[in-house]
Every structure is written in structure tokens, then in C-alpha cells.
Amino acid sequence: MKIETLPEEFVKAQPIIDTIEAAGFEAYYVGGSVRDTLLGLPIHDVDIATSAYPQEVKSLFKRTVDTGIEHGTVMILDHGTGYETTTFRTESGYQDYRRPDSVQFVRSLKEDLNRRDFTINALALKTDGTIIDYFDGLDDLKAERIRAVGDPEKRFNEDALRMMRAVRFASQLNFVIDPATVTGIEHHGQLLTKIAVERIHVEFVKLLLGKWPAKGLDVFLQTGLYQYCPDFDQYRDQLSQLQHQLKTGMSSETAVWTLIASKLSLTGNQIDRLLKDWKSANQLISDTRTAVKAVRAIQAGSVDDWTLYQTGRQLLSVANEVAGQLGTTRYVTKELITAYENLSIHSKKELEIGGQDLMAAGIKPGPQLGQALDYIERQVVDGHLANQSSDLKAAAINYLNEKA
């Protein structure tokens, strides 16, 4: 089969392939960009596979970076944005279930495609638009099917992360996973525990960002794969409910974790623990905690000014998206944002007075000064106090006198 008009990303990369071919080697576009082009989807990175060995590739271009030279990958910078070019290779070993003990460079495209995960990812594209399809990837694309190249058991033994990749592709593409490949996941789920949690995290988030998350979650749950993800083994019921509730994918990583934490009814400390176990960044953890509180307020139908203020514009829309996915459609996000915008202040910095002013009015520095500022902040947000210097000062002094 032949693609008539190649997307411009490929056209831009063509000088690289032309240069390699002019030197007597083979070079093809491979991987996700070929798959996505055939599906009519936008493509992100263009990967090139070649029969030239890394040193041969480097000798053909002026500007290269050794991004993964021991695996055969060289980044070529000669034609604008960098292009990763990887020498055809086979792999062997995989004693740790995540990377080969050694890779062997080979001159055969077929051998290279043969070591790849799924048939839809094992297609190669020539610059003239010809598709090379040794493993019936085109049939599988047409049938909307994710099928391991060759023996699924072997593929997952080589790299256990591929099981997560299978379920996330199902979710991104609305594809079914071929029965033998599903069986392979059933047999090898436990190997996921050998994989760095950060990598599992990336795939799980992609699963829930995909347009058809129910499709991926179905196999994730059916095969038991979820049990080998951090802390998920005790939450089968909730995850299964989620599978049936989700109408479409989430819009951000924060929304993904806010959804999970809300659905699992986690307390603040439990959110910390779960997200730390999933090796999340601190910002993600604190945003999730904040957004989950807002989800609960939205579900309870009582989003007061203080909640709006503490949540902030961005996390309010995350929280309302999550509440919507969980079945609460009480608020239109725009309403919440407007209510937020109408607050008298949006941060402590907008208060008409600060610590300096209170000290000038005779309040000693220390914890009480902070408490007084917190108090007037809340009063202003709640609308009990005007954001006006003299009122604020009087209220702060009054507050401290009453406490004393």
C-alpha cells in the first residue's frame, strides 16, 4: 500500500533519509508517526530507523548528538528540529523484564520490526509513501486491533511496560486488544512490578487522557493488571465503577489524579500516600488535594467563596470536570469561574495592608501577626470586611485583643 500525500513532518525529515540512502544504506520512518498517519491522526515525533550503524550515521551529518548511542540512537540536528535515528537492531537477554541485556545492530529492516511491541507499531514508511508491513499491521489497523508482534508472552517478558502500553493504546485509539495478547497480559501482569513506577505512571495517565478510557480500563481490570500498579489492588470496585462512569478522557494529569482520588474517597493524607507511591511531583500532589476538596464542595452543592478562593481558577475547572465525570452537573464551569473572578481578592498580596502595616500599628512580629493576617484575609474573602486599609487594621487589632 502507498500513502499519496505524506504529512509535512515527513517531508521536512526527507533530506535525512535522502542523505542516508545516497550513502548506500536504507532508512525508513517507523513507529507511532507511521501508525498515526495511517489513522489520520496528528503526529508528534518522527522516528527514523536505518541500516547504517551509529558511527556511519554520524559520519554523514554535521551536527549529531549521541542521545542513546549504545542502543543505536543518534539525534540528527542538521535539518531543524532534531530527528532520532536508530540503527536496525535485535535485542536479547531481558533478565530484568525492562531492557535488553544487549542489543545487536543488524542490516535487516524485518529483524528490526520483528522486535517491536505491536503490529500497528511495526510498520515502516518509505519517503515515496510506500508502507512496509511484514506482520499484518495494516490488517490490524483496519480491524482496530492491538496485537503483539509474534508471541505475546515473549513480547511482555522482554518489556513488561508493553502491557500498560497495550491498554493505553486501546484507550487512545478505541481499539480492541487481540485475545492472545490479552492472555499474555493475564499471564505476565506481575512483571509490571519490575518496571519503574514513573514509567507506569506515564502510561496510566495516557490511558485516562485517551478518548476511550473505558476501553483500556476494561482490559486493565479484566486481566488483573491493575493489581500490580501501586496501591490499586484494594480498589477494584471503584475502578470498575469508574470504567462505567467515564464518558470520555480527562483533560489533564491533575484531572486524572483528582478523579482517582475522588472516586477512591481518599483523605488528604491518603492522597499524599497514593501519589507518592506513584512517584508524583509535589506540585501534582498539592494540586490534587486542593482540587479534590473542591470536587466534594461541588458534589455537595455548596461552593462557598472561601472554597473558590482556595481552589483558584485553574483547579476549579479541573474540579468541575471531575465532578461532571462522576455524575454531578450542578455547576457550569463558567459560572464557577465568574464567581471566582468576582471575589474581592484572589491572593493575600491583594489585601490593602500587609505585615509591615500591622507592625507599624504596634503589633509585634511573630505567629500572632500571621494569624491576624489570615483572619482578615478570610473575612475579606467571605465578604464580611471591606478591603480597605483602615477597616483591615481595626479588624486585625480587634481580633488580637479578643484573643489576648
Ligand X SMILES: Nc1ccn([C@@H]2O[C@H](COP(=O)(O)OP(=O)(O)OP(=O)(O)O)[C@@H](O)[C@H]2O)c(=O)n1
Q: How far is the CB of 293 from Mg ion (least distance, A)?
A: 36
Q: Is 47 annotated as a binding residue?
A: yes
Q: CA torsion, points 90, 131, 144, 121, in degrees to nearest 10?
A: 20
**Which of 220, 153, 154 has the alpha carbon at shortest distance from 187?**
153
* 10 three-class SS: helix
Binding to ligand X (CB under 6 A) within 173-212 occurs at none
Which listed residue (19, 87, 117, 294) binds ligand X by CB under 6 A?
117
Q: How far is the CB of 25 from ligand X (least distance, A)?
A: 20
Q: Is 162 annotated as a binding residue?
A: yes
CA angle in degrees (0–180, nearest 5) for 380-386-391? 105
253 binds ligand X (CB under 6 A): no
Q: Find where cell 480500563 sits.
A: 217
Sign of CA dihedral 52, 54, 58, 59: negative
Three-state secondary structure readout of 61-110: CCCEEEEEHHHCEEEECCCCCCEEEEECEEEECCCCCCCCCEEEECCCHH
150 binds ligand X (CB under 6 A): no
Q: How far is the CB of 32 from Mg ion (least distance, A)?
A: 4
Q: Is 313 annotated as a binding residue?
A: no
* Interface stretch with ligand X, choices 115-123, 346-354, 363-371, 384-392 (CB under 6 A): 115-123
Cβ nearer to ligand X, comparing 159 with 321 = 159
Q: Is 45 annotated as a binding residue?
A: yes
* Interface stretch with ligand X, choices 53-61, 116-124, 191-199, 374-382 (CB under 6 A): 116-124
319 binds, among Mg ion, ligand X, none (CB under 5 to 8 A by kind): none
Cell of 106: 543488524
Buried b (16+ CB within 10 A) or exposed e, 67-83: eebeebbbbbeeeeebb
160 binds, among Mg ion, ligand X, none (CB under 5 to 8 A by kind): none
Q: How far is the CB of 49 from ligand X (least distance, A)?
A: 9
DSSP 175-221: PEEPHHHHHHHHHHGGGGGGS-HHHHHHHHHHHHHSS-HHHHHHHHH
Check if the beta carbon of residue 307 is closer than 8 Å to that of residue 293.
yes
Cell of 366: 511573630
Q: Is 35 annotated as a binding residue?
A: yes
Check if the beta carbon of residue 148 is closer than 8 Å to that of residue 159.
no
Binding to ligand X (CB under 6 A) within 33-62 occurs at 47
* Interface stretch with ligand X, choices 75-83, 114-122, 138-146, 220-228 (CB under 6 A): 114-122
The site string for ligand X over 67-106 (x = CB under 6 A, - otherwise) reads ----------------------------------------
Terminal-residue alpha carbon distance, the chain: 84
161 binds, among Mg ion, ligand X, none (CB under 5 to 8 A by kind): ligand X
Q: How far is the CB of 190 from ligand X (least distance, A)?
A: 17
Which listed residue (50, 87, 121, 379) binds ligand X by CB under 6 A?
121
Q: Is 139 annotated as a binding residue?
A: no
Q: Is 140 annotated as a binding residue?
A: no
171 binds ligand X (CB under 6 A): no
Three-state secondary structure readout of 353-403: CCHHHHHHCCCCCCHHHHHHHHHHHHHHHCCCCCCCHHHHHHHHHHHHHHH
Q: How far is the CB of 313 from ligand X (least distance, A)?
A: 30
Cα 368 from Cα 287, distance rounded (Å): 28
Check if the beta carbon of residue 161 is closer than 8 Å to that of residue 188.
no
The site string for ligand X over 15-34 (x = CB under 6 A, - otherwise) reads ----------------xx--
Cα 43 from Cα 195, distance rounded (Å): 27
Q: Is 145 annotated as a binding residue?
A: no
Check if the beta carbon of residue 298 is closer than 8 Å to that of residue 319.
yes
Cβ nearer to ligand X, comparing 31 with 184 = 31
Which residues sit at the interface with Mg ion, rule CB under 5 A?
A: 32
Cβ nearer to ligand X, comparing 123 with 396 = 123
Residues lying near ligand X in the complex (CB under 6 A): 31-32, 47, 116-117, 121-122, 159, 161-162, 165
Annotated binding site for Mg(2+): 45, 47
Annotated binding site: 32, 35, 45, 47, 116, 159, 162, 165, 168
Annotated binding site for ATP: 32, 35, 116, 159, 162, 165, 168
